[in-house]
Chain A
Amino acid sequence: MSAANANAVELKGVTFKRGERSIFNNVDIVIPRGKVTAIMGPSGCGKTTLLRLIAAQLKPTRGEVWVSGTNLPTLSRRELFDMRKQMGVLFQSGALFTDLDVFENVAFPLRVHTKLPEEMIRDIVLMKLQAVGLRGAVELMPEELSGGMKRRVALARAIALDPQILMYDEPFAGQDPIAMGVLVQLIRLLTDALGITSIVVSHDLAETASIADYIYVVGDAQVLGQGTPAELHESTNPRIRQFMKGAADGPVPFHFPAPAYAEDLLRGSDA
């Protein structure tokens, strides 16, 4: 097996800029096939941007994004849409189509990309919904679902075409403990049972560390550290220690950069 095929995703020297600001600067990330890889870091460090780079919804300013042996930035719009059939993304909001019911949402990728007979589409949709425990919600509309249920339906839709790579954008954000537990279990189960490569972008430390095989911690436009959850817990790097222990102050300061406090107060309202 060649190196390109052993890894589902490889980012090589990726730089991404918004205007003058570097979101990523010469970043290298390797995501092995069939594992749960987590990308963690403080809010606003560009985790979701990284996911969009892997999904080729954004083009890197410089560098290569290899997915299943193809360098995505070189593909045409048409080829890219074909390539995306191998990938699934679970968006933070679920992103269900609000004018379609649960069944049609999950059936949507099948209807667009396959010419399967209606009975087979029905069977596949029910199987996918059964996998996320929502077969009973098949006739509901998205607005009738709770936040956690929306994410599970979105997950069923994301796996409808049996993708090789599944990306989760903040899957645990804003979920109650039960919904969170369900999602954690589902991500691990789907990865192991279907052999999917899972990429979880999150800042929920405990949940992510409990299922991830490998973690990248990003921040300051770079990869700050990487390793298994156990290795990162033992890390001596102060940035990683602050993040893993959730300390309010440290190398990432509590205060946004500002002039001296006393000086600012004494300056009065003429500023």
Chain B
Amino acid sequence: MRKRSLIERVRLVGEAGMNVVAAQGRATLFLFHALFGPSGLDGRFSLLIKQLYSIGVLSLAIVVVSGVFIGMVLALQGYSILSSYGSEQAVGQMVALTLLRELGPVVTALLFAGRAGSALAAEIGNMKSTEQLSSLEMIGVDPLKYIVAPRLWAGFISLPLLTVIFNVVGIWGGAMVAVDWLGVYEGSFWANMQNSVTFSTDVLNGVIKSMVFAVVVTWIAVFQGYDCEPTSEGISRATTRTVVYASLAVLGLDFILTALMFGDF
């Protein structure tokens, strides 16, 4: 093993810091070029449709199943706590607000990072290591336009829609447990929900959150794939980084967004 002097270690810390800043600069330029650079493809709509399918539609199963179970668990937990105060009819309100404001956007974004984000990073990384990206460049096609842009837009569109679907099936799962199983009166379950949920504060804020998460998660995934070292270790690192960075970014941003939206200051 090579031994490192103290000054060498200090230098390495500095170098790591510089690398982080440089990567952030590259990531910003990358996003800007992909979304706003001149297009040479006359808007290939079919590429977007294909990506919407592989990023959005193929993530549906995990989102729907998770949504149902999370809604069911929320109703169970909510019922056991609320019934001790004799207010179990408020379980509908609790399930809906928890899902719309917090769990819907956050859990869907985390699932999306694990399912679609990791796949995006690995796919683009693999294209890089097999020289498919270089090959596109040599054919005179900008990979930022042909490969990256459709995936970015597909992510931006898919995640908010998946979040809405997650919320709907979550509420349905909650109703199934609370109303059909635990015997909460159906009328008060839905009426309480309807009275307490407002479109502008709850539904819209949740959707805005999911839009922010969509940009961040897709950007991280696509950039990690594009910027990875073109080796098998490089691809595996890019995939891991995508899930870790995207998850942390979602949780951190969720706090900031919640503070801004519901913080009352």
List chain B residues, Cβ under 8 A from A98.
130, 132
Cα separation A157 to B44 with both chains bound (whole Å): 21
Which of A9-17, A108-116, A246-254 makes up part of the contact surface?
Answer: A108-116
Contact with B along A105-131 (1 / 0, CB 8 A): 000110011000000000000000000
B132 to A81, Cβ gap below 8 A?
A: no
Cα separation A95 to B138 with both chains bound (whole Å): 11
Cα separation A89 to B140 with both chains bound (whole Å): 11
Cα separation A78 to B41 with both chains bound (whole Å): 12
Question: What's the tally of chain A residues with a CB closer than 8 Å to chain B?
Answer: 24
B131 to A95, Cβ gap below 8 A?
A: yes
Q: Which of A75-102 contact B (CB under 8 A)?
A: 77-78, 81-82, 84-85, 87-89, 91-93, 95-98
Cα separation A77 to B141 with both chains bound (whole Å): 11
Does B135 belong to the interface (CB within 8 Å)? yes
Interface residue SS majority, chain B: loop
Cα separation A109 to B37 with both chains bound (whole Å): 21
Does B180 belong to the interface (CB within 8 Å)? no
List chain A residues, Cβ under 8 A from B139.
84-85, 108-109, 112-113, 157
List chain A residues, Cβ under 8 A from B132.
95-98
Given known A-B contacts A57-B137, A81-B142, A84-B140, A112 and B131 have beta carbons under 8 A apart: no
- Taking a contact as CB atoms closer than 8 A, the residue among B38, B131, B140 that contacts A85 in the complex is B140
**Total number of A-B contacts with CB less than 8 angstroms?**
53
Does B134 belong to the interface (CB within 8 Å)? yes
B142 to A77, Cβ gap below 8 A?
A: yes
Contact with A along B132-154 (1 / 0, CB 8 A): 10110111111000000000000
B41 to A93, Cβ gap below 8 A?
A: no
Would you give the shortest CB distance from A231 to chain B, in whole angstroms? 32
Which of A81, A93, A98: most chain B CB closer than 10 A?
A81
B135 to A82, Cβ gap below 8 A?
A: no
Does A212 belong to the interface (CB within 8 Å)? no
List chain B residues, Cβ under 8 A from A89.
134-135, 138
B140 to A93, Cβ gap below 8 A?
A: no
- Taking a contact as CB atoms closer than 8 A, the residue among A81, A87, A154 that contacts B141 in the complex is A81
A91 to B141, Cβ gap below 8 A?
A: no
B141 to A95, Cβ gap below 8 A?
A: no
B135 to A95, Cβ gap below 8 A?
A: yes
Does A55 belong to the interface (CB within 8 Å)? yes
Q: Which of A136-190 contact B (CB under 8 A)?
A: 154, 157
A55 to B138, Cβ gap below 8 A?
A: yes
Given known A-B contacts A78-B40, A81-B40, A112-B41, A91 and B134 have beta carbons under 8 A apart: yes
**What 5 pairs across the A-B complex have the smallest Cβ distances?**
A95-B135, A95-B131, A91-B131, A84-B140, A89-B138
Name A residues whose Cβ lies closer than 8 Å to a Cβ of B: 55, 57, 77-78, 81-82, 84-85, 87-89, 91-93, 95-98, 108-109, 112-113, 154, 157
6 more contacts with CB within 8 A, not counting A81-B137, A113-B139, are: A55-B137, A57-B138, A84-B137, A93-B131, A95-B132, A112-B139
Interchain residue pairs with CB less than 8 A apart (14): A77-B37, A77-B142, A78-B38, A81-B40, A81-B141, A84-B137, A84-B140, A85-B139, A93-B130, A93-B131, A95-B130, A95-B131, A97-B135, A112-B140
